[in-house]
Homo-oligomer: A and B are copies of this chain.
Amino acid sequence: MGKPLILVTNDDGITAPGLRALVSYMKEIGDVVVVAPDSPQSGMGHAITLDSTLYSKKMQVDLSHTGTEEYSCSGTPADCVKLGLQELLERKPDICVSGINHGSNSSINVIYSGTMSAAIEAGIEGVPAIGFSLCDYNWEADFAPSEKYVKKIVREALKFGIPKGVVLNVNIPKLPKKEIKGIKVCRQAKANWKEKFDKRTNPMGKDYYWLTGEFELLDKGEDTDEWALANGYISVVPTQFDLTAHHAIQDINNWNLK
């Protein structure tokens, strides 16, 4: 059996240190092809490029990683996966890994996450997929403590397979290696952002806004990703793209829709 083929992508862009870390870990496990955005795409959710053209460029970002095929793409993370699977890779990859994101994608952040949208796009197309995020927005964040766990999760996913219709959302706490207690499989915590718009006036006298906000955890459960992260664990949330709220079908059927 040959080495597994691994598609690596992210939303922070092809030069992001988190992607470079992930590429170096994945090279120990299989053959790596990178297809990643040519510029940062944070907060892009599951956007795709419909009204505009896509450019792709073969490139070599890190000369120490010879042998790794790398392509930048002008589109969103979901575009990168679509283009990679359809046009750039010679065969269907055995797994797609996205990240390592600079910043958390736990709880409700999964909805806004470009990192996870790339993983979900791969999942939709039948490729086992995992998104990795480190809870540290710093561009110089220390990814080394995550190495052992990232490799373990990918190896287990390749061994057991990920259930159909499911992709994994992995978040890593910002902790030194010896303080990480292990891995917990969790559910997505209930949370939202309490928005605050910072209203300013531009030099031409026109008002504009910056979107800011505070994260608001609405969930006291000890089986959630937020609990795991706050208690020193890496969280793994199995995430699905069938959004049907099956439990609510009966409720709505009680309405008078005749």
Contacts and interface: CB of A to CB of B under 8 A. Distances in A.
Contacts of A199: 87
B257 A238 contact: no
B255 A160 contact: yes
A47 B44 contact: yes
A222 interface: no
A244 B254 contact: no
A10 to B, nearest CB: 16
A241 interface: yes
Contacts of A40: 51
B239 A192 contact: no
A112 interface: yes
Contact of A251 (B48, B55, B163, B253): B163
Contact of A249 (B125, B182, B187): B187
A22 to B, nearest CB: 18
B160 A112 contact: no
Interface in A35-55: 40, 42-51, 53-55
Q: Size range of the interface on A?
A: 35 or more
Interface string A182-212: 1101111010100111010010001111110
A150 to B, nearest CB: 12
A228 interface: no
Contact of A195 (B82, B110, B157): B82
A156 interface: yes
A108 B85 contact: no
Nearest to A116: B243
B249 A239 contact: no
Interface string A221-258: 00000000000000011111111111111011111111
Query: Which 3 A-B residue pairs are closest in the complex by CB-CB distance?
Result: A45-B46, A238-B248, A45-B45
